[in-house]
Amino acid sequence: MKKTVFTGSAVAIITPMNSDGSVNYDSLEKIIEFQIENGTDAIVSCGTTGESAVLDHKEHCDVISFTLEKVGGRVPVIAGTGSNDTRYAVELTKTAEELGADAILSVTPYYNKSSQQGLVKHFTAIAECTSLPIILYNVPSRTGCNIRLNTYKELSKIENIVAAKEASGDVGYAAQILAECGDALTIYSGNDDLTVPLMSLGGKGVISVFANVMPKEMHEITSLMLSGETDKAAKLHLKYLKLMNMLFCDVNPIPVKEAMNMIGFDCGECRLPLCSMTQENHQALKAVLEEYGLIK
């Protein structure tokens, strides 16, 4: 069996911004400490929720480096190093390894997409450039590119491709991956609202947006699942489902960033082309946060 990068809840951490649009490292440090103090099992830096698509190369590397420094080995740090340009994905991956990342998260190529043969070649090239464990990231709703079952099986044969963040939103498909790949590929839920169903089939955790706001609660849900206390986990999952869903009332990470602002973290706005949510959604989000006692 391949070594598991983490089990439980990994936060897909936001990248807070100053009013001038630069990265707010003071706020990022506070958010990192908030996460670790509340039991987060791993931190994913510069993923989709971290606005990796609008960070330039220096910012991308600096955010990963800063996160590694402030975490200081207390939990694994997984660096988002995906790209639709294989050469650049390789470059970012090499840099992440030099910086000391514990693993990388590599999304499927977007916009230009890829054939399944191209996906195998793309991820093989990344795997060959690093000794780090690799978590594949399948999110066809954002990339227009889906990792098919036979491709998952082929990629799982590569020693340092150890896991996948499955964000297709299809539990049945995730079940097929678990059945076919077995111990060769750890599966994490890429959808907060499917965490308990996927873990009930053998998934080992979640890479979570919701955990930005409620890290302790998502850690508890996954811990209960890992210890076999499914009924308790399911009750908590259903308890927090409204907020999990509300954090996707607009394009991620717009709602979660606004939620973090509301609960007291200075996170600023998302960079364009993502913009502030509508007043209607803002009020709806505020009402849900009040319902959970996160704001008064």
- Given the residues 70, 137, 204, 257, select the one marked as catalytic: 137
Please indicate, yes or no, if residue 147 is contained in any of the structural domains. Answer: yes
CATH of the domain at 182: 3.20.20.70
Please indicate, yes or no, if residue 235 is contained in any of the structural domains. Answer: no
**Rounded CA gap, 104 and 96, in Å?**
8
Please indicate, yes or no, if residue 168 is contained in any of the structural domains. Answer: yes
pLDDT confidence tier of residue 292, bands split at 50, 70 and 90: very high
Taking the mean position of all CA atoms in its chain, how far away is CA 195? 13
Domain that holds residue 131: 8-227
- Over residues 135-193, the pLDDT tens digits come to 999 999 999 999 999 999 999 999 999 999 999 999 999 999 999 999 999 999 999 99
Please indicate, yes or no, if residue 238 is contained in any of the structural domains. Answer: no
pLDDT for 1 equals 66
- Given the residues 165, 188, 240, 257, select the one marked as catalytic: 165
Judge whether 197 and 182 are in contact, CB under 8 Å.
no
- Over residues 125-149, the pLDDT tens digits come to 999 999 999 999 999 999 999 999 9
Mean pLDDT of the chain: 97
**Rounded CA gap, 108 and 220, in Å?**
30
Please indicate, yes or no, if residue 199 is contained in any of the structural domains. Answer: yes
Please indicate, yes or no, if residue 282 is contained in any of the structural domains. Answer: no
Radius of gyration of the chain (CA): 18
Structural domains of the chain, count: 1
Please indicate, yes or no, if residue 121 is contained in any of the structural domains. Answer: yes
Is 110 annotated as catalytic?
no
pTM assigned to the model: 0.96
Please indicate, yes or no, if residue 240 is contained in any of the structural domains. Answer: no
pLDDT for 173 equals 96
- Over residues 38-97, the pLDDT tens digits come to 999 999 999 999 999 999 999 999 999 999 999 999 999 999 999 999 999 999 999 999
